[in-house]
Chains A and B, each alone.
Chain A
Amino acid sequence: MAEVLFGVVGLLVGLLYLCAPFVAIAAWRHARRLETDLRTLERRLAMRRFEPAAEPVPLQRSTIPPADARPPSGSPAEPIVAPGAALDLPRPPSGPPPLMYPPAEPLEPAPRDRARPEPPPLPSLPAVPSPRAEVDVAERLSDALQGGWRAVASTWEERIGGSVLSKAGALLVVIGVALFVGWSMMNLGPGGRVAIALAVSGTLLAGGLGLQRWADYRSLALGLSAAGWGGLYVTVYAMHGLAAARIIDDPRLALGLLLAVAAGMIVHALWLEVPTLVAVAYAAAFAAVVIGPPSAFAAVACVVLAGTLLIVAARRAWSGFAVAGVLCTYGILAVRFPEPDDASALLPALSTGMAILWACWSMFEVYDVAMAARGRGGVGRAIAPLNLCGLLGVALLHWPPPFVGLDWFLAAAAAAYAVSTIVRLSVGGRPGRDGAAATIAGPELAVTIAAALWAAALWMRFSAGWRLHVGLLMEAEILFLLGIALGWRHLRALAAIVFAVLLVRFVACDVLPGGEVIVGGITLARWTPAALVAAAALVVNRAILAWRGRPLLAGESLATFAATALVTLVIGGEAWQRHLGLSLATVGFAWLVLAWLLMELAVRWRFVEAYVQACIVAFLALVPLALVNAFPDALVTVGGDAVPAWAWLGPAVGMLHAIGWRLAGPRRFAGLEPAEPDVSQAILVAATSGALLLAWHALPAPLVALAWAGYAVVAFGLGVALPHAGLRWHAYAVLALTVGRLFLANFTNVGMTGMLSHRLLTVGPVVLVLYGLAIRLADSRLRPPVTGGERLLGPIWSWIGTIVLLVLMRFELGRVLTVGGWAAVGVVLLVLGQRLGSATLRWQSHAIALATFARSWGTGFAAPEGPDGLLNPVRLGGFVVTCLFASELLCPSADRGPHSPRSPGELLAWLDAHRRTFYAILGTALLAILLVHEVPTGLLTAALGIEGAALLVVGFARPDRGLRACGLAVLGVCVAKLFFHDLRHLETPYRILSFILLGILLLAASWVYTRFKPRLRGLP
């Protein structure tokens, strides 16, 4: 009895507390209403004073409504002039547009608005007929503005007082009731508590229902109704859900009551059509579930709430409610997830939280599908992803470790989303088809989720091993084929993603770890079969796309690249990681084979992707080959014999050349014309480098240069025949390397075959190649004709050939004896140069003559290594001098060429034209040196005098002015020597002999010059 009395007192206090603000609000609103009516009356009076004016104000499109068109009193006050409407009143031409309300900010437009174009100028008003009219207009404007001010102030005040406060009051009521219930729990039994709560809720609800008949108290009525419904729902929930207030043990009854209250709430809310009320009511309801202990009943209550909320949202198109419902439901389930043993008290079919979770998901999914079918967007598009996140989040949050059965859950979710996809497709079409942007709530999202969930399920089910690969591969393939069949590109994109995941998995998790599998009796790495099958699938898919003529997606264009990458990895893994008895070099070779196959594919079928892949794989193959050759200690045992790792260079080089043949051969690939030359050059460089390296490894040192020269011959020959400029440049590069190689291993080589030195046998052919190349480059019949830099190379190769030949002679004959060979070569080159008109050959001859002279001067023809009797200094020197004079005699007289050279080119031409004199000087000087070395000191002057006289005789006989000049020079030297040296150092007989002989010679020369003076003037 005391409890009831105490409860009644408390109830009265609570009601008083609750009613006080409402009464105050009602009084204030009543005063406001009176004030509003008064203003309206004043405004009407003012308008009546204005209307009898003589002339109508020429207003255009006046937006001032008539007084009788104003909204009825009590409705939300509207501004006199709607925001944004134009009021066609006179205004300064440059001033801001007419304002509806006094600006709270300066009249200058906001910075972000300054960029906006100015509004078009208002049409100018016609001339005002009288000053009186102007005054009226001004008064009218003033009144309008003041009225707008008042209307605005009234509006926000009314909103705060009539709407916000009521909602706040409702919320306070709910809190107060909750507090009161909590307090009453300490003093009352379940029945008392429920009774109090029901009384409070019923009172509030009744108050609301009663007040809503008056429009002026509508907001208050809404607040009371919301509070009443919220309290009622909490109370009914507490009647079973809270132990302190449990008076209903039957969950079915409790649930029925709860549903009834919810239904009433929904009906009432829908009747009133006030979203705020609905929001408050549902917030209260969800809060009630939250504050209760976790149980299946709470979860079910939550689901029921969410269901009703979805119905409301669907009926009224309040998608925000649906989103809030999803968030609240999953949030409550996350924190109040029912334990499995707690569910036995409720329906057996819904005995687990997981079932409740699925029910929630289904409910939201159905709602989302329905909304998608209606084509509604907005914030409702977030439902689908929120639903997914809620489902997975709650499930993962409450799934007991070690997550047994989670894979099946994910699979089930995937299946559910697959069904959802089908449903969405059937009800809403395929919004993402034909390249349209996928909607977030459309079938694209559903099928994407399904694919992801299925992949995750597979991953959890088969965390390692080939089953995971097969599963992902099947999923990707199914998606791809469905995409092809349905013409749905999104599925193909998903397939590409799954393929990408599969590839990443291969690379990241499966390549390096060990593990084997036996397939057909062959032991392979565990991932090899799946990788090969995936590669095959990728290739087949690419072929299907090509066959169906479908445009490729971004990922699909990489399908064959991925397949090639897989095969490349498989080859690398099988050949290297698992060894298979071979070395790292086999990896490079195997990759080259793959590259060659791809290149064949590219060439035969004009398959650009295969071409690019072939090039990539070929470049990749070079890495292990380079490593093997950089670290030659990588020896492995094959067949019991130690084989150097470079042995695989042979077949690898063969493969490189086979690829290079497809790049440079007659049926070369022409799919990527802009990039093809660079790529083919790179491959050809690799092939050439490999060939050179192979020769270096496999052949003895002196034969390397020979092999390289042979390679250059082949490269140049093919470069001309194909034609392919790149190959020709390869030949030039290889030949340059060959020349360098000669200095390392051939010139000092001491090997012999019979009587032939290996130096001669290896350098000689290289010289022939060099000269042959020079001749071919100078050949005007060469097709295609070489141009530019290649043409300049002709003389260069000629020079190099000559230099190599001279160096060969130097090492073959020795430092001294080589002058004989050089002199002979010089004569030959001079003859050839003059007959062929080749300045290059002539200049080579000049240079050789100069070098021969210098070497002879320095050595004095003393050659200890020479054969006795055959090439003693006199004979050797005589031969060299003879060659020089022979060259002089072979040269034409210097009657050609520029007389006064002004440029380096002209200077060279002038020197070349006077080569006859050049050879005469060299021959004369070298003969004098020979005489100095070989003639006894006492007879030297006489010998030199004879030389000078002989030169004069020959100079007259030929006739040759150069020889005559040389003869005179020698005679002059003799005279000088006679007076400065012989007088002091020679013995008397030699001195006398020298004087007499030289005197006779000088006299004879003088006689000849005197006797044949007229004829000498005409001699050259």
Chain B
Amino acid sequence: MTARPRWPADACWWLLLVVVAAAGAVVMRGDVDDAVGAGAAFEVWGDVVRDVDQCSLSLVRVSPEEEMRLGRELVASGGWATVPASPWQAYVDAVGAGVAAHVRRRGIEYRFRVVESPEVNAFALPGGNVFVTTGMLGFVESEAELAFVLGHEIAHVDQRHAIEALVTRIAMERIGLGDVGRLAELPLVLVRGGYRKYQELEADVAGLHLATAAGYDPAAAVVPFRRLAALHGEPTSRRPSNPLGEAVGAVATGLGSYLHSHPVTQARIDRLDQLIAQRRSWGRGTGGYRGVQNHGQKLPRAAHEFPDEGGH
């Protein structure tokens, strides 16, 4: 039996070197991102934990009606200083309704509430209860930015992030173990804390999707984050002197931020930039309404579209 010649296998092996070199050359021609971190590993780990968690959570099916009931109870017990008579309320309702029209879970009725607070913040409770502070309304500079902020909070409800925190207690109440459910919430908070920031990233993506679907400029999604980064700033770490130091630093940083509820602003900006570029590559995401004047006049786009604000 004659041995087959070795050269094809050898040639294919060395061809890999060509492939590697070619890929490197292509990368060098593009816009290189030099960021390093252990986020990927923690994100993969968060995926695993979340998959296990959500598989069990999906066994507890909470209907929209039940979720809205829970939401109302939480709003009633929260004591937030809402100002229904605020001049912003109608404007926020109009913008929010436009964004919420593209949600996946149709059974949820969304209600938007303006909170009198200088803090730049917005949050959502189960059942479609979205809160936005007057500080946030003053912080955003266009209707598209506000649409993204509201879309982000709507996405938390639409993606069931808001109700997931209560599912365990609900399941326990259904089988008559409500107290045990409340006790079980604490360890679950720790478990879910690991992927809560990935929920934020998901909400960013979904919010962008909702705002874009409502006809707003996707580029406006990153503007508030950039402004926040410029306002507060974030510590910039110096590049370590060797790969080992880099790895150790990345793991330490990643471990420290693993339980943070919100990801680093720059990471969100990068994700959104990448997503926007991706959507543009799909032929979507070009153009869109900005609504700077609408925001300044508290005049929703649904009521009036300024011609120089982009859009269709």
Give A contacts to B, CB under 8 Å.
629-632, 692-693, 696, 700-704, 706-707, 709-710, 713-714, 716-717, 720-721, 740-758, 761-762, 764-765, 768-769, 772, 776, 779, 781-783, 807, 810-811, 814-815, 851, 854-855, 857-860, 862, 864-865, 867-868, 929
B6: A residues at CB distance < 8 A: 781, 783
The answer to whether A630 touches B40, judged by C-beta atoms less than 8 angstroms apart, is: no
Per a CB cutoff under 8 Å, which of B4, B24, B30, B57 touches A706?
A: B24
A-B contacts besides A710-B24, A743-B41, A750-B35, 12 pairs, CB < 8 Å: A630-B242, A706-B23, A706-B24, A713-B20, A721-B10, A742-B40, A744-B36, A748-B40, A756-B30, A758-B27, A761-B23, A781-B4
4 pairs of A and B residues whose beta carbons are closest in the complex: A753-B30, A858-B54, A864-B206, A747-B40
Contact A860 B58 (CB under 8 A): yes
In the assembled complex, the Cα of A855 lies from the Cα of B50 at a distance in Å of 9
Instruction: Knowing A631-B241, A714-B17, say if A751 contacts B31 (CB, 8 Å).
Output: yes
CA separation between A395 and B148, bound complex, in Å? 101
In the complex the two chains form, is A701's CB within 8 Å of B40's CB?
Answer: no
B104 beta carbon closer than 8 Å to chain A: yes
- Provide the bound-state CA to CA distance between A639 and B104, in Å: 64
Determine whether the beta carbon of A744 is less than 8 Å from that of B247: yes
Give chain A residues whose Cβ lies under 8 Å from the Cβ of B275.
865
With A700-B34, A748-B40, A864-B202: A717-B241 Cβ-Cβ less than 8 Å? no
Nearest residue (CB) in B for A629 is B242
Inter-subunit contact A702/B247 (CB<8 Å): no
Residues from chain A with a CB closer than 8 A to the CB of B198 are 815
Contact status A748-B39, CB under 8 Å: yes
Residue B138 is within 8 A (CB to CB) of chain A in the complex: no
B309 at the interface (CB under 8 A from A): no
Using known A-B contacts A758-B30, A810-B47, determine if residue A772 contacts B12 with beta carbons closer than 8 Å: yes
- Known contacts A815-B47, A860-B58: does B37 contact A744 (CB below 8 Å)? yes
Of the listed residues B44, B210, B250, the one surrounded by the most CB atoms of chain A closer than 10 A to its CB is B44
* Residue B271 interfacial (CB < 8 Å): yes
Q: Is A702 within 8 A of B209, CB to CB?
A: no
Nearest A residue (CB) for B203: A864
A700 and B32 in contact (CB under 8 A), knowing A706-B24, A717-B14, A752-B277? yes
Q: Which chain A residues border B44 with CB–CB below 8 Å?
A: 743, 747, 807, 810
Q: Which residue of B lies closest to A853 (CB)?
A: B55
Query: By the criterion CB–CB under 8 Å, are B38 and A713 in contact?
Result: no
Tell me how far the C-beta of A643 lies from the nearest C-beta in chain B, rounded to whole angstroms.
16
Collect the chain A residues with CB atoms within 8 Å of residue B267's CB.
748
Say whether A756 contacts B155, CB under 8 Å.
no
**Which of the listed residues A857, A860, A865 has the most CB atoms from chain B within 10 Å of its own CB?**
A865
Q: List 7 A-B contacts (CB under 8 A).
A: A702-B33, A744-B41, A745-B36, A758-B33, A781-B3, A864-B206, A867-B279
Residues of B close to A752: CB separation below 8 A? 30-31, 274, 277
CA distance A706 to B20 in the complex (A): 6
The answer on a CB contact under 8 Å between A854 and B55 is yes
**Chain B contacts to A: CB under 8 angstroms:** 3-4, 6, 9-10, 12-14, 16-17, 19-21, 23-24, 26-41, 43-44, 47, 50-55, 57-58, 104, 155, 159, 198, 202, 205-206, 209-210, 213, 241-243, 246-247, 250, 267, 270-271, 273-275, 277, 279, 281-282, 284
A702 to B28, CA, bound (A): 10
B58–A857 touching, CB < 8 Å: yes
Q: Report whether over half of chain B's contact residues are helix, strand or loop; otherwise say mixed.
A: helix
Contact of A629 among B12, B35, B241, B273 (CB under 8 A): B241
- Residue from B30, B43, B155 in contact with A751 in the complex, judged by beta carbons closer than 8 Å: B30
A711 to B134, CA, bound (A): 57
B24–A703 touching, CB < 8 Å: yes
Report the separation of the CA atoms of residues A753 and B33 in the bound assembly, to the nearest whole angstrom. Answer: 11
Q: Evaluate contact between A748 and B43: CB separation under 8 angstroms.
A: yes
**Residue among A744, A761, A858 making CB contact with B58, cutoff 8 Å:** A858
Residue contact A750 to B271, C-beta cutoff 8 Å: yes
- Are B242 and A713 interface neighbours, CB within 8 A? no
Asked whether, in the complex, the Cβ of A867 is within 8 Å of the Cβ of B282, the reply is yes
**How far does the Cβ of B39 sit from chain A's closest Cβ, in whole Å?**
5
B24: chain A residues within 8 A (beta carbon): 703, 706-707, 710, 762
From B251, which residue of chain A is reached at the shortest CB distance?
Answer: A744
Q: Which residues of A contact B17 (CB under 8 A)?
A: 710, 713-714, 717
In the complex, what distance in Å separates the CA atom of A714 from the CA atom of B21? 12
Q: For A761, what are the chain B residues with a Cβ–Cβ distance below 8 Å?
A: 23, 26-27
A779 nearest CB neighbor, chain B only: B9
Q: Which of A704, A714, A859 has the most CB of B within 10 A?
A: A859
Contact B16 A740 (CB under 8 A): no
**In the bound complex, CA of A807 to CA of B58 (Å):** 24
A854/B241 in contact, CB under 8 A: no
Q: Collect the chain B residues with CB atoms within 8 Å of residue A742's CB.
A: 40
In angstroms, how far is the closest chain A Cβ from the Cβ of B120? 24
Answer whether A864 and B20 are a contact pair too, CB < 8 Å, given A630-B241, A758-B30.
no
**Which chain B residues border A854 with CB–CB below 8 Å?**
51-52, 55
Q: Across the interface, which residues of B come within 8 angstroms of A746, CB to CB?
A: 40
Is there an interface contact between A765 and B20, defined as CB atoms closer than 8 Å?
Answer: yes
Q: Whole-angstrom distance between the alpha carbons of A721 and B14 in the complex?
A: 11
- Please give, as numbers and ranges, the residues of chain B lying within 8 Å of A756 by CB-CB distance: 26, 30
Q: Is the CB of A753 within 8 A of B19?
A: no
Residues of B within 8 A of A865 (CB): 202, 205-206, 209, 275
A858 and B55 contact, CB distance less than 8 A? yes
- Interface residue from A769, A811, A855 paired with B51 (Cβ < 8 Å): A855
Nearest-Cβ distance from residue B277 to partner chain A, whole angstroms: 6
Chain B residues in 8 Å Cβ range of A750? 33, 35, 270-271, 273-274
How many angstroms between the C-alpha atoms of A756 and B12 in the bound complex? 24
Query: In the bound complex, do residue A701 and residue B33 qualify as a contact, i.e. CB atoms below 8 Å apart?
Result: yes
Given A751-B27, A858-B50, are A717 and B10 also a contact pair (CB < 8 Å)? yes
Of the candidates A704, A741, A765, A781, the one having the most CB atoms from chain B within 10 angstroms of its own CB is A765
CB distance from A626 to the nearest CB of B (A): 9
Q: Which of B14, B58, B205 contacts A864 (CB 8 A)?
A: B205
Q: How far is B281's CA from A479's CA once the two chains are assembled, in angstroms?
A: 84
**In the bound complex, what is the Cα–Cα distance between A631 and B51 (angstroms)?**
44
A862 touches B159 (CB 8 A): yes
**CB neighbours of A758 from chain B (8 A):** 27, 30, 32-33
With the chains together, A749 CA to B273 CA distance in Å?
12
Q: How distant is the Cα of A851 from the Cα of B14 in the complex, in angstroms?
A: 34
Q: Contacting A696 at CB < 8 Å: which of B12, B27, B39, B243? A: B243
In the bound assembly, the distance between CA atoms of A865 and B155 in angstroms comes to: 12
CB neighbours (8 Å) of B26 from chain A are 753, 756, 761
Residues on the A chain within 8 Å of B23, using CB: 706, 761-762, 764-765
Contact present for B209 and A701 (CB under 8 Å): no
Chain B residues near A717 (CB, 8 Å)?
A: 10, 13-14, 17
- Known A750-B270, A864-B159, A864-B209; contact A745-B35, beta-carbon cutoff 8 A: yes
| Shortest Cβ gap from B24 to chain A (Å) | 5
Q: How far is the CB of B247 from chain A (nearest CB, A)?
A: 6
Q: Report the separation of the CA atoms of residues A692 and B202 in the bound assembly, to the nearest whole angstrom.
A: 36
Given A750-B33, A765-B20, A772-B12, verify A693-B242 contact (CB < 8 Å): yes
Distance in angstroms between the alpha carbons of A744 and B26 in the assembled complex: 20
Residue of A nearest to B56 (CB): A858
What residues of chain B lie closer than 8 Å to A703, measured between beta carbons? 24, 27-28, 32
- The chain B residue sitting closest to A740, CB to CB, is B247
Nearest residue, chain B, Cβ from A769: B16
Nearest-neighbour CB distance to chain B for A347, whole angstroms, equals 80
What is the bound-complex CA distance between A703 and B36, given in angstroms? 12
Q: Please tell me if the beta carbons of A755 and B281 are within 8 angstroms of each other in the complex.
A: yes
A694 CB → nearest B CB, Å: 11
Contacts of A720 in B (CB 8 A): 10, 13
A855 partner residues in chain B, CB cutoff 8 A: 47, 51
Q: Which residue of B lies closest to A756 (CB)?
A: B26
Note all chain A residues with C-beta closer than 8 A to B155. Answer: 864
Q: Are A807 and B40 in contact (CB under 8 A)?
A: yes
Q: What residues of chain B lie closer than 8 Å to A740, measured between beta carbons? A: 247
Contacts of A782 in B (CB 8 A): 9
A772 / chain B contacts, CB cutoff of 8 Å: 12-13, 16
